[in-house]
Amino acid sequence: MKPRDDKKADDIYKATLSLVKAKGLAGITMGEIAREANIATGTLYIYFKNKSELINSLFTVCRNASAAVYFKNFETSMPFKTGFKTIWYNLLNYRIKRFEEAVFIDQCYHSPFITETTKEMTKKLFMPLYSLIDSGKQQQLIKDHDTIMLLTFMAGSINETVKHAYYANRKITKEVAEEMFQMCWDGIKA
């Protein structure tokens, strides 16, 4: 069951993401995924034990990938605002560039496929963000609210804006991004 051909597993992932974006988790079949990935249905089952495992596996991959992106160029030694801005922009860019993955992850949360353990395991990846926010609070640079609340405030506005931009077929320019960041910062700053 361990995939020989890594490229093929990747093709399957890509096919799945593309179909989920187009039709939602509710609408995809193993047959369609196979066709989209240019392989036979049976081949899917060489790489993934079943549909649930394919979805869970892709979910994990996406979560890990996103975590990796989030902390690109980020150093714990940075001044708080620099670090925060770095991550904020990473988050925005991830959502824009890998929109499909973001949609997929969103859809997964309310699906019968994703197991609780899979959800748990992916939480830990974002610990560094928690620490950053905590340090910001200690330095009294940002409001002394619940950390998770501050984070969801930050993430929520990004997610929603990117979604809107995507469906309205509108680009998020450098200037718009800067405006968005300013709003977010004004919202959380002390």
Partner DNA sequence: AATGAATGAGTGTTCATTCAT
Partner DNA sequence: GATGAATGAACACTCATTCAT
**Burial class of 148 by CB neighbour count within 10 A (0 to 12, 13 to 18, 19+):** exposed
Among 112, 117, 169, 174, binds a copy of itself (CB under 8 A): 112
Q: Rule CB under 8 A: say whether 145 interacts with a copy of itself.
A: yes
Rounded Cα gap, residues 91 and 43, in angstroms = 35
Q: Which is nearer to a copy of itself, 27 or 79 (CB)?
A: 27
Q: Tokens 């890998």 correspond to what residue?
A: 98
What part of residues 44-73 is at the interface with DNA (CB under 7 A)? 44-47, 49-52
Q: Report yes or no: 83 and 136 within 8 Å, Cβ to Cβ.
A: no
Indicate the angle between helix axes 51-70 and 99-109, nearest 10 degrees.
120
Q: Which is nearer to DNA, 56 or 161 (CB)?
A: 56
Rounded Cα gap, residues 22 and 138, in angstroms = 44
Q: Among 82-90, 91-99, 129-137, 140-148, which window interacts with a copy of itself (CB under 8 A)?
A: 140-148
Q: Which residues bind a copy of itself (CB under 8 A)?
A: 20-21, 23-27, 103, 106-107, 109-113, 143, 145-146, 148-150, 152-153, 155-161, 163-164, 167-168, 176, 179-180, 182-184, 186-189
